[in-house]
Structure 1
Amino acid sequence: MDDAQVSTAREIPGVRAIYPVVTYQIPEVDESVPDLDTALPMTGADIAQNELGLRGEGVRVAVMDTGVDYTHPDLGGGGFPNDRVVTGHDFVGDDFNAQDPAAVPVPDSDPQDCNGHGTHVAGIVGAEGEVTGVAPDVEFGAYKVFGCSGSTTSDIMIAAMEQALADDMDVLNMSIGSSHSWPQYPTATAADNLVDEGMVVVASIGNEGATGLYSAGAPGLGENVIGVASFDNTHVRTATALARPGGEPVPYMEMDDAPVPPTSGATDPLAEAGRACTALGDEVGDMTGRTALVIRGGCTFAEKYDAAVAAGATGVVIYNNVPGLFAGGGVAAGDAFSVGVSDTSGAHLLELLEGGEPVTLEWTEQTSTVPNPTGGLISSFSSYGLAADLSVKPDIGAPGGLINSTYPMAKGGYATISGTSMASPHVAGGVALLLQARPDLDAHEVRTVLQNSADPRAWWGNPGLGLLDNVHRQGAGMLDVPGSVLAASTVTPGKLSLGATGGPATETVTITNDGDEEAVYELSHESALGTHGDTFAPSFNDGSADVAFDSDKVTVAAGDSVDVRVTVTPPARDYEQMVYGGYVVVSQVGGETFRVPYAAYNGDYQEITAVTPTEYGLPWLTRITGCAAFSGLECADGGTFENRPDGETYTLEWVDGLPDAPYVIAHLDHHVSRLELVVIDERTGRPVHPRNNIAVSVDHVGRNATPTSFHSYVWDGTYVDAHGRVKDVRDGEYRLELRALKALGDAGNPDHWETWTSPVITIDRG
């Protein structure tokens, strides 16, 4: 059903709740060229394998994704099922894409992967061969919920979750997410229920870091789910050219679909082309018979490439404007090659050009493994929390930037891509190692054990300052597999979600000594950076909370527990929309150190204005035009919403394939707990009925991803009467009052609602 029917369906006897069928895209990933073997030491997975003898034996891991290429020799090889991929199901078929209104799932018993994402994820969990995953002896369940491209829906995902439970999987990895959402989303709720049933659920937190705060997605937002952030790999393995003259090695990465450079020969002479952003007024110059040397930034890679090729360039080399290598996206197929090189390589090539001699790149078959300047820091794409309900998300992090793993044999067998999709299976593999070592752990306990031993990392913006990155970006920090396996103490809860704090907040942590001898623990505090200001482009601050304990040192007998009260006094409210956090540190004297991350909103959470005008002055009363084809609420060719500030007449009929019905479009700067459209009778100035007057009602609405995007809602000219019957309004004049209940707002408090009233809507059915 569409949104206009939700209020009607709520009145059906027996209906407890209504949830949107959320669409989930196959996660976008960055293609690059490093190694999984350099990622394993970042979490100690190599130590767990080689020194502790842990390989995930006896643990069953479900991969819910695009399927798994079980013919891959690193994943068992041969047919399905095999020794590694022991069970699974295809819930959709290769051709399914939820973006197609006519798409119908065609399930079968063969979970073969025709996309690649799921095979890459499975390899990180537990490949054994040319690539070695985190837990190379696990058994896989492959649950295919995507076709070869496009998207799937939350109801299909939930069906796959239920099948994984029926197949007795111990761990479920979901490298899937719907960004800017709530923990109440259907997939997050279902994932929470799986944990209650005894399955550990691990999910990527999302790749929307560029869109700012509260961008994390479901199912990783689930209360019991391990939501995983991404850190960049420490090294990059990449193809290498030689700069001539001089022969200096120039490691490079290929740019999307542009032609691949050869392994011998040389480029045409290089010529500097600046930014090559012609839309911004940049002059490229004549590049005929030249290789354009372009600096990153200012416009998209595709625009740079197109501008250089249009100027005659036979190749495009883009050098980074920040430290490190990169592989750009969005470059379409063309006749000229394109590669990305580091900032230092770019500077060297510019220096050679200043010498006056012709400068070329000589192609080779050489590869280089080079340190990644951002290695060990949070990945630029990794989504921010907090969750909309102010719970601490993400929970933990793992390597996800620049990971080499298995890929379908039909697509080359191996690939290197980046995303929180790659970090999540690293944690899922780590869970498998932990469960092998500590099989008595309850599913609810696993996340706490992992968080206790995790290692917070420095702020990506300037690691040299020694400041810890935001808790609402990295959670507990980098996964530490040996630390969690060998831990003889536990601190619960694993994280402290303090909510909105107007003053001191007191929580209790419990220190449990699982060792054989009495232990002494000292408590202290580490502050992390906070954020403030614009949700879409947050600023950073070092405002630190004051954290006090009712006892700074406790002695705990073997097998016993001690409670410690922790009082967190927020920092001064020097900024608007301030989120702060840090770590409660529990150090065993002569032993290990454990941490509990905490975070909170500093002040009144309902002070955030959600329904905000964009540069176009939204909200609007609109009608939709310019669609050649229309299905449901989607224009096949991207029609246009036209503002009707002075009101409009609607027939509620379909005209030329379009609904002649009123739409309200609104931009949300922040999540809202509920969004309603109330039907107001213009004759009386009151709702059409004292109680039954809702045109649209949607719970747990996420914020928009950008400052200019918006949500749209249509009214079909009906309301529900006192007997639960759908009634048409009479022809006449009405207004729609948009009402938004602020996130975590009290529905009985008028100050927690934001409202906007539309211009007059005239209904004239003719």
Structure 2
Amino acid sequence: MFSKKNKSAISVHVASVCLLALSIQSALAQQVPANNAEGGNLWFVELATKPVADGNSKNNVKQAQAQFRKAARDADVSFTERRSFDTLFNGFSVEISPAQRAKLMQVPGVKAIYPVELIQAPAPDVRSAGSAADMATAIGMTGADIAQNSLGYTGTGIKVAVMDTGIDIDHPDFGGNGSNGSTAFPTPRVAYGYDFVGDAFNADSTSPSYNPIATPDNNPDDCGGHGTHVAGIVGANGTVKGVAPDVTFGAYRVFGCNGSTTADIMIAAMEQAYADGMHILNMSIGSAFQWPQYPTAQAADRLVEKGMVVVASIGNSGASGLYSAGAPGLGEHVIGVASFDNVASTSAVLEVNGQDIAYNTMTFSGQVPTAGSGDVVFVGQACNTDPLLVSPAGKIALAVRGVCSFGEKATNAINAGATAVVIHNNAPGNFSGTLGAQIGDGSVPVVSISQADGLFIQAQAAPVLSWTDRSMQVALPTGGLISSFSSYGLSPDLALKPDIGAPGGVIYSTYPLESGGFATLGGTSMSSPHVAGAAALLLQAKPNTPAMAVRSVLQNSADPKNWFGSPGLGFLDNVHRQGAGMVDVDDSITASTYITPGKIATGEGEAGPFMQTLTVHNNGTEAVTYQLSAVNALSTGGIITPSFFLGDASVSFSSDTLTVAAGGSASVDATITPATLPVNGQYGGYIVFTPEDAGQVYRVPFAGFVGDYQAIQVLAPTASGFPWLAQLEDGFYNNCTMDCSYSMQGDDVPWFLIHFDHHARYMEMNILHAGSMQPVHPVFHKTNVFDYLPRNSSATGFFTFSWDGTRIHSNGGKGKTKVVPNGDYVLQLKVLKALGDENNPAHWETWTSPVINIAR
């Protein structure tokens, strides 16, 4: 199964899905819909002048911004200014057409431009049942129950900002009146906040409810639900008791009741939280596949530098493979949080022949009855390609998960006359699922049960199902393991991300009263507030802890968990997916030892052994001697579909023991010899400090890249053969390989469709004469110059860039562009790989376009 000799242990390949994707791409090989492109027309403009948080004066920032506006007008750059920022980020968000982007980058004073990411409101994984007991099990996983009940810390005096959909201020668990709309803001519990968008706001232009016009007001009441759930995890105090039930909240609402927001609104909310003096900011939102240099991460880092602890979900893009972590969680000083599944959950109960069986109601199911009974028949897979084994007419159909969608199974059973549909798992444990849409009149209930319960029903000679109004708590087979959705790191600059983990899968918490008052949701959105609450308990217990140190204190005492794929094997899960492990807040509070740095990024393996000096601070009253050791976690190969390997890194120490005097500190050098397998993979492990006498064990995680990081191909062609030179016609990009002529009017300009299989540090396009293949100018021949480009979110995704027929005509400065005359040209695309050396030709990838005829 596992091998220490370059043999993949586990690599799952879903051949049918891959073949389907390939066939679709082949069919589109010469044409793709324009709306398939990733990105849009909203961009951040970062100015070279420092923001106020970095020590600049507000007057200097305003003057620099005024100079930019004038220079942009003089250069005839056309855009619409959306927002300006001065404190945490110096610059703007603007709406600008793709044809104007190259000119925007050349306006004097511009340091960089970045896309303003569209951020979807996290889709809730709502379970059919749940109880406060589920929240209690989650708090018990992190030691927050011990911190509350034994140590006496509840977050009193700590102000926690929640940037989200708002908080239901009427909810009794936040001290509200319990009647919708009857509580006045601010309240003693929700004492700060602002609504930046209004109820109807939705930034997603593809949505039927698209409404980009924000209507802000002073009341951040929640109508979406997500923020109330997040806030409840941090500090509800009622039916649900959160991690830190006595914190004071700031609610910074950046979503409407439905739909999406944008990254520039996030920065506006960050600046308001800073102005309100919040101690901790939780952001259960973010932009996947980004760089730590992305503006929301930059702004978050500056908040930490100014004294605010910032906690952010690392993202729910685990299915998209490595390097999928999101900003702001990627920020250098931000605590990026992974998700583990809760150990138990409460489910509704049905009975079969007297045995209780827990079930979950499928999304779009008909209402499940609380009484009545019916005979059960097993119908098999119930897929279109697999006829029902027996007729379920007038009976309850039992189907097995797999092969086709839940909606297809339920439709086939319901059309055959089933009065209800039960789908049992094809792997241990139960699951939540969706039918995709209402089936028929929507009256037939459809529920899921575990594999074991499904096999039990099949074994009965005459199974009779009885519906009940009861519920029960059941152990989750994935409890304490990394959640399937939790994103992988590392950061594209090979920083160790995520930093730490917490319960995020199957979490019961508060929900708006008009939507039931409580709900069970899942996501890194739910794990991040566990860590924000833990930070509140820590700050109450140790009020002099600097914001920059909180992450390391929590990491030192965290508990790494076993690999989700087969926990019984005893292998630790990837450091680049769980970080330091499960947060253990009571141990962090009682810890007398503090180790810096709290994590180690070893970089590229081709550089050889990596040495890190670790300093151990002893705040106790007695000297402590630690035994030093190290343990490997599993390594991964690939990017989109990771495979797993035994780690073979090794760690040596300048001394195998370290004695630290009471009230003193001592240092030891750790030399990490990087893993050799798999090539182009990621590896990691933990340095372990074990006291010779009984006491707490501390750990420092490390992670790095196997081999030469620049060996990863960026411009992977995909099945469509990207990059393309394209023409935009009737909402489609057409691949142009010859006779490519452009009038340069409107959208009739050269378009370039590029797939980034990995993050790129820099991109430029050089304009060459088609005949001689020489640059159009000896020095000034560039267009489309960009820094810090993210990778595409899928193996077939692409970004679009256009050429407006001009070239940059400046020598280090900015502001000049010149029109290229009519004629024939080619554009040479050059991409510098992540962490690449611009002076090393091997670190660049290039592509040359077909001939472009400009005929204005």
- Determine if the TM-score, normalized by the shorter chain, exceeds 0.5: yes
| d(CA) in 1 for partners of 2:333, 2:418 | 53
Q: Deviations over 1:101-124 (max 9, x none)?
A: 861221111101111000000000
Return closer, same or farther for 1:650/1:419 CA change in 2, 3 Å cut-off: same
* Percent identical residues: 52
**2:360 corresponding residue in structure 1:** 253
Residue 84 of structure 1: how far off its partner (Å): 0.4
Residue 757 of structure 1: how far off its partner (Å): 1.4
| d(CA) in 2 for partners of 1:65, 1:267 | 44
1:706 aligns with 2:822: no
Residue 311 of structure 1: how far off its partner (Å): 4.9
Return closer, same or farther for 1:192/1:275 CA change in 2, 3 Å cut-off: farther
Residue 738 of structure 1: how far off its partner (Å): 2.2
Alignment of 1:197-208 (within 5 A): 197-208=306-317
**2:57 corresponding residue in structure 1:** none
Name the SS for the 1:612 alignment partner: coil
Q: Which moved more, 1:695-704 or 1:248-257?
A: 695-704
Q: Which amino acid aligns with 1:510?
A: T
**2:459 corresponding residue in structure 1:** 351
**2:53 corresponding residue in structure 1:** none
Name the SS for the 2:602 alignment partner: strand
Q: Which amino acid aligns with 2:503?
A: P
**2:853 corresponding residue in structure 1:** 762
Q: Which moved more, 1:138-147 or 1:689-698?
A: 689-698
CA RMSD of aligned residues (A): 1.8
Q: Which amino acid aligns with 1:714?
A: S
Q: Which amino acid aligns with 1:676?
A: E
**1:634 corresponding residue in structure 2:** none
1:331 aligns with 2:436: yes
Residue 171 of structure 1: how far off its partner (Å): 0.3
Indicate if the aligned counterparts of 1:216 and 1:383 stay in contact, CA closer than 8 A: yes
Indicate if the aligned counterparts of 1:5 and 1:696 stay in contact, CA closer than 8 A: no
Alignment of 1:582-597 (within 5 A): 582-590=685-693, 591-597=695-701
Indicate if the aligned counterparts of 2:112 and 2:787 stay in contact, CA closer than 8 A: no
Return closer, same or farther for 1:50/1:667 CA change in 2, 3 Å cut-off: same
Return closer, same or farther for 1:267/1:385 CA change in 2, 3 Å cut-off: farther
| d(CA) in 2 for partners of 1:188, 1:82 | 30
Q: Deviations over 1:376-419 (max 9, x none)?
A: 01111111111111011110000000000000011110000000
**2:169 corresponding residue in structure 1:** 70
**1:606 corresponding residue in structure 2:** 710
1:642 aligns with 2:734: yes
Return closer, same or farther for 1:651/1:291 CA change in 2, 3 Å cut-off: farther
Residue 697 of structure 1: how far off its partner (Å): 2.5
Match of 1:725 among 795, 807, 816: 816
1:17 aligns with 2:126: no
1:367 aligns with 2:464: no
| d(CA) in 2 for partners of 1:730, 1:99 | 38
Indicate if the aligned counterparts of 1:4 and 1:716 stay in contact, CA closer than 8 A: yes
| d(CA) in 1 for partners of 2:314, 2:704 | 19
Report the number of matched residues. 738
Match of 1:651 among 719, 734, 743: 743
Q: Which amino acid aligns with 2:724?
A: W
Q: Which amino acid aligns with 1:740?
A: V
Return 5+ residue gaps in structure 2 as ranges.
1-95, 177-182
Match of 1:236 among 345, 349, 357: 345
Residue 662 of structure 1: how far off its partner (Å): 2.4
Q: Deviations over 1:566-595 (max 9, x none)?
A: 00112334x322211100001223221100
Q: Deviations over 1:110-144 (max 9, x none)?
A: 10111100000000000000000000000000000
Alignment of 1:738-749 (within 5 A): 738-749=829-840
Name the SS for the 2:787 alignment partner: strand
Q: Deviations over 1:427-473 (max 9, x none)?
A: 10000000000000000000000000000001111111111111001
Residue 688 of structure 1: how far off its partner (Å): 2.8
| d(CA) in 2 for partners of 1:316, 1:99 | 35
Q: Which amino acid aligns with 1:465?
A: L
| d(CA) in 2 for partners of 1:207, 1:81 | 32
**2:581 corresponding residue in structure 1:** 477
Return 5+ residue gaps in structure 1 as ranges.
628-639
| d(CA) in 2 for partners of 1:82, 1:102 | 30
**2:11 corresponding residue in structure 1:** none
Task: Report the TM-score when normalising by structure 1.
Answer: 0.93
Residue 284 of structure 1: how far off its partner (Å): 4.3
Indicate if the aligned counterparts of 1:202 and 1:427 stay in contact, CA closer than 8 A: yes
Residue 747 of structure 1: how far off its partner (Å): 1.9
Name the SS for the 1:250 alignment partner: strand
Q: Deviations over 1:495-541 (max 9, x none)?
A: 00111122211111001111112221111111111111x21111111
Q: Deviations over 1:6-37 (max 9, x none)?
A: 33223222223322212211122322244111
Alignment of 1:33-44 (within 5 A): 33-34=129-130, 35-44=134-143
Q: Deviations over 1:330-376 (max 9, x none)?
A: 62223232212111112122223xx3x3x443211010101111100
Name the SS for the 1:30 alignment partner: coil
**2:620 corresponding residue in structure 1:** 515
Match of 2:531 among 396, 407, 427: 427
Q: Which amino acid aligns with 1:23?
A: L
| d(CA) in 1 for partners of 2:203, 2:853 | 35
1:223 aligns with 2:322: no
Indicate if the aligned counterparts of 2:174 and 2:237 stay in contact, CA closer than 8 A: yes
Q: Which amino acid aligns with 2:173?
A: D
Name the SS for the 2:238 alignment partner: coil
Task: Report the TM-score when normalising by structure 2.
Answer: 0.84
Residue 267 of structure 1: how far off its partner (Å): 4.8
Return closer, same or farther for 1:114/1:689 CA change in 2, 3 Å cut-off: farther
Return closer, same or farther for 1:290/1:643 CA change in 2, 3 Å cut-off: farther
Residue 153 of structure 1: how far off its partner (Å): 1.3
